[in-house]
Structure 1
Amino acid sequence: MSGSGPFDHAWSFVGELGNRMFDNHVRLAVTGLRRSGKTVFTTTLVHHLLRAHDLDFLSAAHQDRYLGARLIPGEGERFTFEAFEADLMADPPRWPEATDRLTSLRLELRYRATGFLSKMVTPVQTLVVDIIDYPGEWLLDLPLVGTSYEQMSRDSLALARRSPRERISRDWLDRIETGDSSGMIDGYRLYLERCQHELGLSFIQPGRLMHGIDDLPEGTTFTPLTPGHPLEAEMAARYQRYVEEVVKPFYEDHFSRFDRQIVLVDLFSCLNAGPDWFDDSMTALSTILESFAYGQSGWIRRLISPRIDKVLFAASKA
């Protein structure tokens, strides 16, 4: 597995991890828009660190200070690196299955110290790196924390009536008129799935309705509705529970602990698909960027105390 190609800038970004003088534990988050190749990226990164070859992105390797890496026990559900590596190294290679939940892998990197004092005190230093892989749709959900149900509904319905979504939204929009809440919710979820799988769109919000719906807390599924709909109050309450019980816990428990973030984008596919798909990807990226616009008065600053000091957007060709 080669480290060259569309991920070159990402490798350099990862290679800076050890430059934080007083940190010996770094949490690197990796996510991506639809079919961006984040599983392949994460697997390839770990493969190179463990095998200690083609480490052009690591300054310690250039300086002959890199002593190797090993996998050590971590927290939470484990990223199944060995299975993904076997897929990529098979003959012929197999494309790894897409991941639909948060998983992580912990590595211990060892390298020779620089500087006279460091060499005297700790000649061999250790850096623990947690690599966290999670679906890009989860990141798209963060702005919902600052969005009312009414605004979310207006935006979602307007989007559904525009190209290319108008091709597949009719069934869901018809269900809104039936008065059957479960039918509306199912129709909305199926509509989102078709947006992603049939149309190949990237801006899927709310993202958690796409993955692991059976794991969601009771009463957190919903559908956007037109103003004045008889079930508007019920759906607004469900939406608020989704924000409070699904969106906020992810960012409080995980996002706020990330040190660095890589976001992969399959730019070539959306360019080839046409203007509507390119605009959709730009909407997704703009929404993601809101998550990193902290500022002194930003709402995300009030929600959490973010630690991410660098974010990299990398164009890939999955």
Structure 2
Amino acid sequence: MGLLDKTTGLLRDMGQITGNVAGAMTRPLTAPFTDPVIRLGVTGLSRAGKTVFITSLVANLMDRGRMPQLRAAASGAIRTAYLQPQPDDTLPRFDYETYLAQLTASDPVWPDGTRQISELRLSLKVAPSGMMAGLQGLQTVHLDIVDYPGEWLLDLGLLGQTYAQWSAGALKRAQGRPLGDAYLSQVTAVYPAAALEEPTARALAAGYTAHLNAARAAGWSDCTPGRFLLPGDLAGSPVLTFAPLPDGDHPRGSLGREMARRFESYKKNVVQPFFRDHFARIDRQVVLVDVLGAIHAGPRAVDDLRTAMAEILTAFNPGGNGWLNRLLQGQRVDKILFAATKADHLHHTQHPQLTAITQALLREARDRADYAGAKTAAMSIAALRTTVEETVEHRDGPLNVVRGRLLDTGRQAAFHPGVLPDDPQQLLAPARAGDADWGPDRDYQVMRFAPAPMTLRPGEGPPHIRLDKAAEFLIGDRL
């Protein structure tokens, strides 16, 4: 290399260093206009605990003593965290203070579940790392948490279906589900090609809604349309007054034709605006899943959960669907966590089995959805630990149990839900086969525990299981 080349290279390197130093020195002046924002979507299926998850996550990010697996917390890079007004004034604020007070009271209670979309902004002051750290001030990273019902997420699958396709699937799913047979009997009593009579339409919608509510309460996951379960100010409107009917020739003015029109109106006026206005702006997502509840409900509920997870992955991977690409404007979530909640209902020796089952459900969902794109993960967590572990003597030898305060009676009880298999296929195979139950050798139970009274030491958030690991996956790389 000649002297000219060496001189040019040296000047170039010096210019880069000077530019980096200048950028580091001026960044604190421009930071208010360039603060990074992480939009974290939180949703869940069938009472998976969204409100508790968000409340505990925020509390543990503000007081980080229980967050060793979040590297930015363990290293001290997060210097402080505080709540700020949310950026979207048109959304309800997530009522963090009320929920935390309910969970940490002397007689704690579970907060009400999510019934609408809400938002909360948590800002974190983070010390930069790397060679230029000494020349930079603290950086502010905003975590915008968007809470919305999981039933709304499943509605995305409706956008790619006609009324006839949705009806065929809904009528098939109703077979054997709670109040499903009652609705199917109701359908046989009507003639879809007959002229529309509004009382008949309302009765069918009410019957189908009762079936969906009963199915969700029994642990089923795929219960769409989601607004039938959470109607809000749409209750009683024509956009929610439809129900599945058998396919056939439905002339103009008939009950069947009007049901199809209202189905299309639901997609256009309810589903699309939610995904266009809110969903498309999310860049990280956690989906909370009550895997234990599905196992307790039986093989068909587990297979239903597997199908629902595939639908969710499709929602996060527009792929070649032109209508979905246009709706989401090319945006994609780049990390998705499927978290099996209520890990505190199991002794820690069974947590690996719960995680393996969740991973297997996710893997099959990925295959069914032909999914590629975002980084996904599965783990078992408890956003708020409600139990302690014990080993008790049993007729067959020592038995690992958890002990907690029962929600219904308030008394303390030890609980062993049954032994989860080491091989997830021992559950997934009968689920795929549509078996009615797990058979005489397997018996899985679910206990409803109340939140346990807690005394928090300074600097510590509520007790949890792997909430710090979940936070590291979801936002650790951005801190």
2:179–2:210 CA contact under 8 A, matched in 1: no
The alignment partner of 1:169 has SS state of: helix
How has the CA–CA distance of structure 1 residues 186 and 166 changed in structure 2, closer, same or farther, with 3 Å as cutoff? closer
The 5 A counterparts of 1:119-138 are 119-120=134-135, 122-138=136-152
* Equivalence for 2:339: 314
Q: Which runs of 5+ in 1 are unaligned?
A: 1-21
Alignment match of 1:105 (pick from 102, 111, 120) = 120
Shift of 1:52: 3.0
Shift of 1:37: 1.3
**Matches of 1:58 and 1:191, distance apart in 2:** 42
The alignment partner of 1:141 has SS state of: helix
The alignment partner of 1:220 has SS state of: helix
**Matches of 2:322 and 2:134, distance apart in 1:** 43
Alignment match of 1:194 (pick from 214, 220, 231) = 214
2:47–2:290 CA contact under 8 A, matched in 1: yes
1:294–1:301 CA contact under 8 A, matched in 2: yes
The alignment partner of 2:97 has SS state of: helix
1:140–1:284 CA contact under 8 A, matched in 2: yes
1:223 equivalenced with 2:237 (yes/no)? no
1:164–1:276 CA contact under 8 A, matched in 2: no
The alignment partner of 1:300 has SS state of: helix
The alignment partner of 1:289 has SS state of: helix
**Structure of higher RCO (CA pairs closer than 8 Å, 6+ residues apart):** 1
* Equivalence for 1:36: 48
**Matches of 2:265 and 2:288, distance apart in 1:** 30
Amino acid at match of 2:341: S
Shift of 1:58: 2.4
**What per-residue deviation string (whole Å, max 9, x for no partner) do you get for residues 173-220 of structure 1?**
3564595122212222222122222x2322110001110343369431
* Equivalence for 1:182: 202
* Equivalence for 1:140: 154
The alignment partner of 2:247 has SS state of: coil
Cα RMSD, aligned residues only: 2.2
Amino acid at match of 1:148: T
Number of residue pairs aligned between Structure 1 and Structure 2 = 295
**What per-residue deviation string (whole Å, max 9, x for no partner) do you get for residues 113-150 of structure 1?**
11233531x32110011011111000000011111111
* Equivalence for 1:46: 58
Identity of aligned residues (%): 40
1:149–1:236 CA contact under 8 A, matched in 2: yes
Amino acid at match of 1:189: T
1:88–1:96 CA contact under 8 A, matched in 2: yes
**Matches of 1:297 and 1:185, distance apart in 2:** 30
1:67–1:111 CA contact under 8 A, matched in 2: yes
Shift of 1:311: 0.8
Q: Which runs of 5+ in 2 are unaligned?
A: 1-33, 343-381, 383-479
Amino acid at match of 1:196: R
Amino acid at match of 2:75: Q
Shift of 1:67: 0.7
Shift of 1:267: 0.7
1:139–1:288 CA contact under 8 A, matched in 2: yes
Alignment match of 1:247 (pick from 266, 271, 274) = 271
Shift of 1:92: 3.0
Bigger drift between 231-240 and 188-197 goes to 188-197
Shift of 1:274: 1.4
Amino acid at match of 1:309: D
1:68 equivalenced with 2:80 (yes/no)? yes
Shift of 1:107: 0.9
2:287–2:337 CA contact under 8 A, matched in 1: yes
2:152–2:226 CA contact under 8 A, matched in 1: yes
- Bigger Rg over Cα: 2
**Matches of 1:271 and 1:183, distance apart in 2:** 33
Bigger drift between 132-141 and 169-178 goes to 169-178
1:163–1:276 CA contact under 8 A, matched in 2: no
Amino acid at match of 2:167: S
**Matches of 2:235 and 2:37, distance apart in 1:** 31
How does the TM-score come out when normalised to structure 1? 0.86
Amino acid at match of 2:166: M
Amino acid at match of 2:284: R
How has the CA–CA distance of structure 1 residues 312 and 123 changed in structure 2, closer, same or farther, with 3 Å as cutoff? same
How does the TM-score come out when normalised to structure 2? 0.58
